[in-house]
Chain A
Amino acid sequence: MAVTDTPTASVQRVAAADDTAPMVTIRGVSKAYGSNEVLRDIDLTVNKSEVVCLIGPSGSGKSTLLRCINFLEVYDRGEIRIEGQLVGYSETTPRRRLSNAELRGLRRNVGMVFQQFNLWPHMTALENVAEALVQVRGLDKIAAAERARLMLARVGLADKADSYPSRLSGGQQQRVAIARVIAMEPHLMLFDEPTSALDPELVGEVLQVMRDLAAEGMTMVVVTHEMGFAANVADRVAFLDRGRIAAFGPPRQVFHESPEPRLTQFLQTYHERNSF
């Protein structure tokens, strides 16, 4: 739990990424609701063990892009591949959209953490974590409960195993949601504004768990408004604006050297909001 983001950790991550194929490749992805183009010709590569943050104003398409990666959202053109496997469509021409049943194999390896946690309120914290282990991984109940307990301990909530979500704070709920995902040993984790629904004083505990995951080499794509997290933990940052990636690169470059006026304007609102 106490591991923080050290320079060595990021060096290791980059080194590990170099000698392997990318985790996610997004090429020419577009999506429109009627005449409203929410994603326009997006290209993005996420290497193994890399943390990529997607930032941008609301409505810029960052959450939509994230949700296309595990096909909770359908993209119209282009392609997304996870470990080489095409997401959401058959490899045939013309391509055919895959059913939810056909997507199960892919999704079990891609974890997702939601803004609203989406814990199941009729199950305890332990049951929330164990459920997918039983239903998807096929573990027996005892093994699943044992593993779930370990995962709760990893996010610092061993003592909350028998609590129902309604008895937990937002930060605790989100940590249970993260435990639920990491129990499945995903190859890739997607975070959709994981701290946006939290009271400010609870944001830190969730970010800490995410930092630990990053330090352990988890590949992560994070939609966030936490610029501090993006600046300190991300290997690369993508700034989305009106459905396009308007700036992309290491955090230092994106935050300090980008000529993109929309980005400067966007960051300005953050500076103003955080200076009082």
Chain B
Amino acid sequence: MKFSVIVDALPHLLGAAVTTIWISLLGVLLGQVIGVLVCVARQSGNRGLDMAGGVYVSFFRGVPLLIQLLLIYYMLPLIGIDVPPLVAAISALSLASGAYVSEIYRGSLNAVPHGQSEAALALGFSSATIWTRILLPQAFRFSVPALVNELILLLKASSLISVVGVAELTRTSQTISASNFRPLEIYLAAGVIYLAINSALALFGTLVERRLQQG
């Protein structure tokens, strides 16, 4: 073990960690949007929308993320859409996380008592307002622990996008260890960085939960 190797590589690794973080955050944010839309579609009572949502969720939960990523990366150019690796990576992460998030929201919505929307209905609220003001804010609260968990899973899963050549933390570790032949030190450092980021996320999640519980 030569720790000086880690010290030398650290600036590169930290830079790559920043890439990992923003790709994951972007993936989870877009995943939120997709997840909410899919969830609302599946609860809308429209059979077509419900089925489309169901197929979407089954596919993205049932197929490994690595395969999804490669499918997006290799298949889209065939139909004339040329995707840069970064776009393919973020699309795959968002689509996958959307499927999980929609299920998280579905569970949380079922946890909101029926009387909540009934009270709004009786006051003359529109359906759209009931969704945006009553149901989703509460579902979101119930979801926070699961969503933080999802973010942590996604951040770890983002190491998979190294296969399409995005220079995130895992890919950068591979590149560095291939040139300095010290894989153990470099991957150890990468592991510690992942752990640090995810511990910070878990802490953040606990703080948000505590904050929300006051309301």
- Chain B neighbourhood of A116, CB < 8 A: 113, 115
- Chain A neighbourhood of B46, CB < 8 A: none
CB-based contact B124/A118 at 8 Å:
no
Number of interface residues of A (CB under 8 A): 28
Binds A, one of B71-79, B82-90, B127-135: B127-135
- Chain B neighbourhood of A131, CB < 8 A: 133
If over half of B's interface residues share one DSSP class (helix, strand or loop), that class is named, otherwise mixed; here it is helix
A181's closest neighbor in chain B, by CB? B123
Q: Mark B107-118, 1 if CB is under 8 A from A, else 0.
A: 000000101101
**In whole Å, how far is A205's beta carbon from the nearest beta carbon of chain B?**
20
**In whole Å, how far is B184's beta carbon from the nearest beta carbon of chain A?**
49
Q: Mark A81-125, 1 if CB is under 8 A from B, else 0.
A: 000000000000000000011001101101110101011111100
Q: Mark A162-190, 1 if CB is under 8 A from B, else 0.
A: 00100000000000010011001000000
Q: Using A118-B116, A121-B215 as known contacts, say yes or no to A132 and B127 having CB atoms under 8 A apart.
A: no
CB-based contact A118/B115 at 8 Å:
yes
Number of interface residues of B (CB under 8 A): 21
A116 CA / B112 CA spacing, docked (Å): 13
Neighbour of A72 across the interface among B116, B118, B133, B214, CB < 8 A: B118
Answer whether residue A70 sits at the interface, using C-beta atoms and an 8 A cutoff: yes
CB-based contact B123/A107 at 8 Å:
yes
A123 CA / B133 CA spacing, docked (Å): 10
CB-based contact A180/B123 at 8 Å:
yes
CB-based contact B126/A101 at 8 Å:
yes
Answer whether residue A135 sits at the interface, using C-beta atoms and an 8 A cutoff: yes
- Chain A neighbourhood of B141, CB < 8 A: 122
Answer whether residue B51 sits at the interface, using C-beta atoms and an 8 A cutoff: no
A118 CA / B112 CA spacing, docked (Å): 11
**In whole Å, how far is A141's beta carbon from the nearest beta carbon of chain B?**
13
- Chain B neighbourhood of A15, CB < 8 A: none
- Chain B neighbourhood of A114, CB < 8 A: 115, 118-119
Task: List the 9 shortest-distance A-B pairs measured between CB atoms, nearest first.
Answer: A108-B124, A118-B119, A118-B115, A112-B122, A132-B123, A107-B124, A136-B124, A104-B124, A135-B129
Task: Pick 10 A–B contacts, CB within 8 A, sort by A.
Answer: A70-B122, A120-B120, A120-B134, A121-B138, A122-B215, A131-B133, A132-B125, A135-B126, A135-B129, A180-B119
